[in-house]
Structure 1
Amino acid sequence: MKKVLFVATVVKTHIMVFHIPYLKWFKENGYETYVCARNDYENKDDCVIPYCDYYYDLPFERSPIRLNNFKTYKQLKEIIDSNGFDIIHCHTPMGGVLTRLAARNARKKNTTVIYTAHGFHFYKGAPILNWLVYYPVERWLSRLTDILVTINKEDYKRAQKFKAKSIEYVPGVGIDTKKINEIKVNIVKKRNEIGIPKDSTIVLSVGELNKNKNHETVIRAIAKLNNPDIYYVICGEGQLAIYLRNLAKELGISKQVKFLGFRTDIAEIIKISNVFAFPSFREGLSLSLMEAMTLGLPVICSNIRGNSDLVEHGKGGYLVKPDDIQGFTNAILNLYENSTKRKNMGIYNRSVLKNFDLQNVLEEMGNIYSKSYSRGNTKN
C-alpha cells in the first residue's frame, strides 16, 4: 500500500486546522496515512486525528535550539527510515527543517519530500536578523526538497532563486466556502453569550495573543475612538494575554474588549461581527482572514505579504501599516459610520474568495501529489 507522512510542529493548532481535507484525499486515493506532530491538547485524549492511520506524538519545539528538537530529529529519522513512505509532506518552520534533514536517506529510495512554506520568516520589511538567520537556512534546505509549495505571490517569486526540484504556487490551504456559509447562528443569542449588546458594532480579530499578531494596535485604536458602542472581540490565546488585558484596563476600555480565548465557533462569531481587523506584522495567507471575507465582512488589515494577495484596498477593505494606530482608528470609524460601505465591501470579498475555495486548492494539490508519486517511483 502507498504511504504518506504529514509532519508539523503541533496537532491542535496546525494539523487539525489545515490538513484534515488532505489526509482525507490521501485515504480516498488508497494511501496509508501517518502524522508526526506534538500533541498540544490540554487533555491529551482529545487528540483524535480524522483519516489518520498512525500518529506519532513527537516533542517538537518552535525554537531551533531546544534539546527536544534533537530528540525529535532522531525519532523522526527512525520513523522515516523504517516505513518507506512514498510521499512526505512537511509544514511549519521546525517541522520543515527536521523532516528534510531526517529524510535525506529516504529521498535516495524514491520518497518525494514536499515542503509547504506557510510564510517565510524573511519577507519585505522583515528584520535584518530574519534575513541573516532564516534565508540561508531555507535556501540550503531547498536542496533537500523535491517540491516547494508557496502560498502567496511574494514567497513564490523569492523562491525562484532556491534549488528545490520544483517550485509551485498554490492559493493557500483552501477554505470550504460552502460549509462555512451553511453555518447558522442566532445573532442576538450569540451576542448575549459573549456579553455584547445586539445593536453595538463588533470589530473582530482572530489569532494567537503574541507580538506578531499585533492586537495591541487595534486596542489602542479602539481607545482613541472613545466610543462605547464599538466593541473589540479577540479570539485566541497566548503569552500576551495578561499584558493585553492590562492594556485595555489602563486605556479605560476593558468592558469593550472581549478576550474569548481559543474558540471552535469562529464562523458563528464572524457572522455576528461587523468588521474584521487583522493587524499582523507577518502572515503567509491567513485562513481566519479568508473565513471573514467568505462570510462577507469588510476588512482592515496590515499591508503585508499574504494580506495584500487577498484584500484590495478601497474595495474589500483597507490596507494599513501594521503599527499605524491612527490608520486603524480612521478605518474603523469610516466603516462604523457607513453601513452601505460595509455591505458593499463584504459582497466584494465574497466574490474574491471563490478563487481560494477548498475544492480548487484540493484539485491543485491533488495534481501535485499525483505527479509526486509518479516522480518518486521513477527516481534513480
Structure 2
Amino acid sequence: MHFFVKEGNSIVNGTKKVLFSATVYSHLAAFHKPFMKMLQEKGYEVHAAANPDHGRKEEIEEMGVVCWDIPFSRSPYHIDNFKAMSKLTHLFHNHYFDLIHVHTPVASFLVRYMAKKCKQGPVLYTAHGFHFYKGAPIQNWLIYYTAEKLARRWTDGLIVMNKEDYDNGKKLGFKEKESLFFTHGVGVSFDQYSVSTDSSGYVRQQLNIADNDIVITCIAELIERKNHIYLLRNWKNILNYSPNIHCLIVGTGRKEAELKKYVEQNQLKNIHFLGFRKDIPEILSQSDIVTLLSFHEGLPRCVMEAMVSGKPIVVTNIRGSRDLVKHGVNGFVVDLEDDQSLIESFVKLINDKKLREQMGQASLNEIQPYSLTNVLHEMQRIYSRFIRE
C-alpha cells in the first residue's frame, strides 16, 4: 500500500501512516494493542506518541510500532504540555499521518489542535469517560466541557462507549453515525476469561479460604475514585449476616496504606489485599461475587472481565457501570452512599447460590456484544470511513 506524502518540504513515496496517541504508553499498551495490530495487518505503518514515564513503551515497540516520546502531562496546567506542543510540531512537520486516533483528555486536546494546525489527516478521539459527567464537580464542567467544545472543530470523529457520553457528544455538536460513534468499549477477550485456566484453586489455598466460603472480589486501583471505603465501612454489617465470607482487594495505588490502616483500626476480618496481580482470570474463577463501587467510570474493564467469567456484579449507579450491569438481572446497581441497599445486595447474593448462578449466566449473555472480536469489527468500520484506500 504505497502513496505520496509530504515529509518536511519534500514529497516521498511511502506507506500510509496511522498515529495513536495518549498521555502515557501504558494506556496504549493496556487497551489499544489489538487495534494497532489490526491496522498493521492491513498494511499501515503504525506510530505512537506518548509519555514514557509510566512504562510499557517496550510492549508497543515490540509490535513494530514507531514510538515518539512526547512529554504530555495529565494536568492541563503543567508546563510540560508546552514542550509537548513543540515536539508535536516537529513530528507533524516531518510526517504526514493519514489517520490520527487520540485518547486521554489532555494529550488528545493538544494532538487534535496541532494536527489540524499542521494539516494532518482525519483525527478520531475516543472518550474513555468524559471528565464531565452527571455529579461531577463544577470545575470539571468548566474546564473539560469547555475544552471539548473548543476541540470539536478539530475532531473528525468522536467515539464513546456509554450512553451518558453519547448524549453529551450530541450536545457538543457531533452528529450520530457521521461524526459520533458508539462502540462496546475496548473489547474483552473471551478466550482469556470465559474458561478457567485454573484447576487447583491455589488462590483460595494461599489465603486459607475454604471451598464453601463466599469470595467477593474488587479489582481496582487503590485510589479515591474507586471508593473502596464504601465496602469497607459496611463490611462488619455484611459479616453479621454471614461470617464465612472473604473480600479480595486486587490492585495498588496511593490509598493502599490508608485503606490497610482503616482495616486494622476497625478490626475488619477476612479482608485480603492482594496487590498487583497478573493472574486475574484465576482470581475471578475462584470468586463468587465481583464488585466495583466507583464514583465515576467510563466503561470499567474489570466489570466486563467479571461478566465474561460468569459472575454476578454489584456496582454503584454511575455512568459505565450501569451500562454493563442491569439491576436484578446480572447483578445489583446501588446508589452512592446507600449503605442499606449495598448490604442487602450482597446479602441476597451471599445467601442464594441459585441467584448467583442465574445472574452469572445473565452476565455471560449481556457481555456478548463487548467481545474483542466484535469491537475490532466496530472499529474497522469506523476507520474505513476516514482512511481513503
TM-score of the two chains, using structure 2 as the length reference: 0.90
1:5 to 2, 19, 24: 19
Choose 65-74 or 338-347, whichever is displaced more. 65-74
Instruction: Report the equivalent of 2:85.
Output: 73
**CA radius of gyration, larger in:** 2
Instruction: Report the equivalent of 1:339.
Output: 353
Residue identity matched to 1:146: D
Residue correspondence of structure 1 range 1-380 to structure 2 within 5 A? 1-12=15-26, 14-41=27-54, 47-106=59-118, 108-109=119-120, 111-164=121-174, 166-226=179-239, 227-253=242-268, 255-374=269-388
Note closer, same or farther for the CA distance 1:267–1:75 as it changes in structure 2 (3 Å cut).
same
Q: Using the alignment, how far apart are the partners of 2:73 and 2:246 within structure 1?
A: 35
Q: Using the alignment, how far apart are the partners of 2:104 and 2:326 within structure 1?
A: 27
Note closer, same or farther for the CA distance 1:104–1:195 as it changes in structure 2 (3 Å cut).
farther
1:138 Cα offset (Å): 1.0
Q: Does the 8 Å CA contact 2:249/2:271 hold for their aligned counterparts?
A: yes
Residue identity matched to 1:157: D
Q: Using the alignment, how far apart are the partners of 2:63 and 2:245 within structure 1?
A: 42
Q: Using the alignment, how far apart are the partners of 2:386 and 2:312 within structure 1?
A: 39
Note closer, same or farther for the CA distance 1:334–1:8 as it changes in structure 2 (3 Å cut).
same
1:187 Cα offset (Å): 4.7
1:134 Cα offset (Å): 1.5
Partner-residue secondary structure (3-state), 2:254: coil
Note closer, same or farther for the CA distance 1:25–1:194 as it changes in structure 2 (3 Å cut).
farther
Q: Using the alignment, how far apart are the partners of 1:16 and 1:120 within structure 2?
A: 20
Partner-residue secondary structure (3-state), 1:212: helix
Q: Identity percentage over the alignment?
A: 37
Note closer, same or farther for the CA distance 1:306–1:34 as it changes in structure 2 (3 Å cut).
same
Partner-residue secondary structure (3-state), 1:363: helix
Instruction: Report the equivalent of 2:9.
Output: none
Note closer, same or farther for the CA distance 1:45–1:345 as it changes in structure 2 (3 Å cut).
closer
Q: Does the 8 Å CA contact 2:196/2:285 hold for their aligned counterparts?
A: no
Q: Using the alignment, how far apart are the partners of 1:56 and 1:144 within structure 2?
A: 22
Q: Which runs of 5+ in 1 are unaligned?
A: none
Q: Using the alignment, how far apart are the partners of 1:346 and 1:271 within structure 2?
A: 12
Q: Which has the higher contact order (CA 8 A, sep 6+)?
A: 1
1:279-300: CA deviations, max 9, x gaps? 0111111111101011111000
1:242-262: CA deviations, max 9, x gaps? 111111112211x52222222
Residue identity matched to 1:191: R
Q: Using the alignment, how far apart are the partners of 2:59 and 2:206 within structure 1?
A: 27
Q: Using the alignment, how far apart are the partners of 2:61 and 2:206 within structure 1?
A: 30
1:217-244: CA deviations, max 9, x gaps? 1111223223542211122211111111
Q: Does the 8 Å CA contact 1:235/1:260 hold for their aligned counterparts?
A: yes
Partner-residue secondary structure (3-state), 1:367: helix
1:315 Cα offset (Å): 0.8
1:195 Cα offset (Å): 4.9
1:298-334: CA deviations, max 9, x gaps? 0000111111111110011100013223322221111
Aligned length: 370
Q: Which runs of 5+ in 2 are unaligned?
A: 1-14
Q: Using the alignment, how far apart are the partners of 1:131 and 1:41 within structure 2?
A: 27
Q: Using the alignment, how far apart are the partners of 2:253 and 2:385 within structure 1?
A: 39
Partner-residue secondary structure (3-state), 2:332: strand
1:107-165: CA deviations, max 9, x gaps? x34x1101000111111222222222211111111111011111111111121122457
